[in-house]
Amino acid sequence: MFTKAERLISLRNLRPKKKEGFLKIISIFSFLGIMLGVAILIIVMSVMNGFKTDLTKKILGLNPHIVIQPNGFKIDDSFIAQIKMDFSNVSLSKSYSGEGIIISNDNAKGVILRGVSKEEKNTINFFSKFVSNGDLDELNSNNIFIGSELAFNLNLKKGDSLSLMSSAFVTTPLGNLPKQEIFKVAGIFNTGFLEFDQNVIFLDIENALSIFDKDYSDQNIELYLEDPLKANSYKNKLQKINQNYFIYSWSDLNKSLFSALKVERNVMFVILSLIVIVAAFNIISGLTILIKNKTKEIAILKTLGLSNKSIKKIFFLTGLTIGFFATISGIIIGILFSINIEKLRILLSTLFNFEIFPSDIYFLEKLPSEVNFNSIMIIFIISLIISALASYLPVIRISKMDTFRSLRYE
């Protein structure tokens, strides 16, 4: 594509003479601008990818992948048998959830009351992973498990008593009042997902049905899949079996969250790509000045027989070389930062005594990062395209240069 002579002359253009020091400065700024732009782009994309992946894992690890609610119809045994027959790789359990209020030490907070059975496999897995204080065997009548953040906010510990109030009403001489029962804290769980640890309480399913004034026909069916990303496909198949039930997946509950993350990621990609575009303007200005300074040399090359196309390729290669090596350097720096970003966060937080990534805002305990090589390849290609365009624009005027006028006074 490029001849040896073209490569040699292009390489010489990258090493300007002492009197062309300003040109050297422009070349350095072009290199640094593109390098930093690419590095920042990779770091931000890696953090956003890591945030999405970590958040998805948290949601999938703490919530059922598909929930089937009776919706006024009883979920009969034949429907459950049909599920087990059609979806042999699906784990099934029963539960009941509803909104309630926890009252303790003159404090009140709205929570999600989640009734589960300690005999279910999914309940056993959850408690074995996340319970830090307590035992699953203690999940029985009038005992509950609360999240670590909720325990901290309400100053609760294992063995304390509290009141739970549900949205169900009971008739009393004073009128209809919310149903309220006394429970004891049997244990504390810590998932690392702040939103979950602040707002969810686990209790025995019989207690949950009792406090909400429900019976066994009101239980929900929870499905756990081997591949949670196929939840919507399973949901559509289940709806065809029986359309009377209300069926939703984990992605339905978090659709707005992940849509917002996707939009934010795309917007950040476009905005940060502008850094590379701005840096590429230095290539345009640098090559424009270089071509202007090399007018005499260009004229000589033309008289020696080099075509306009060959001379264009020389200067185009000069700009593209700057963009190529700046992109490669930016990718290396970006990957290294992305891999060690949590260590850097801890170091900066320690040095400046400032929380860079507040866990109560971002729902996560550490700064996640996931290096996606597809994203890196896209960034690499886009950076090269920008560099190529920036290198091509100045060389167009070479064909318009008048060789005779350039050499007339020599």
Q: List the one residue out of 134, 97, 92, 101 whose CA is nearest residue 115.
A: 97
DSSP H helical ranges for 154-254 = 194-199, 205-211, 231-241, 250-253
- Per residue in 76-118, pLDDT tens? 778 888 888 888 778 888 888 888 889 887 788 889 899 888 8
Q: What's the one-letter identity of residue 338?
A: S
- What is the C-alpha R_g of the chain? 33
Report DSSP letters for 123-134, one per residue.
HHHHHHHHEEES
Q: Are residues 157 and 199 in the same domain?
A: yes
Structural domain range at position 202: 91-224
Domain count, the chain: 2
- Per residue in 313-349, pLDDT tens? 777 778 888 888 889 999 999 999 988 888 888 787 7
Cα 130 from Cα 121, distance rounded (Å): 15
Mean pLDDT, consecutive 10-residue stretches, the chain (410 aa), reads: 66 62 70 88 87 79 84 80 80 86 85 87 84 84 89 88 82 70 90 84 89 83 84 85 84 78 82 82 77 70 71 78 89 91 80 68 70 88 88 74 55
CB atoms within 10 A of CB 14: 15
Q: Are residues 399 and 312 in the same domain?
A: yes
Q: Are residues 403 and 277 in the same domain?
A: yes
Q: Are residues 261 and 400 in the same domain?
A: yes
Cα 67 from Cα 93, distance rounded (Å): 10
Residue 309: inside a domain = yes
Residue 233: inside a domain = no
Burial class of residue 217 (count of CB atoms within 10 Å of its CB; 0-12, 13-18, 19+): exposed
| Domain closes at, from 199, 224, 249 | 224
Q: Are residues 203 and 264 in the same domain?
A: no
Q: Are residues 217 and 276 in the same domain?
A: no
Q: Are residues 299 and 386 in the same domain?
A: yes
Q: Are residues 102 and 49 in the same domain?
A: no
Length of the chain: 410
- pTM for this one? 0.70
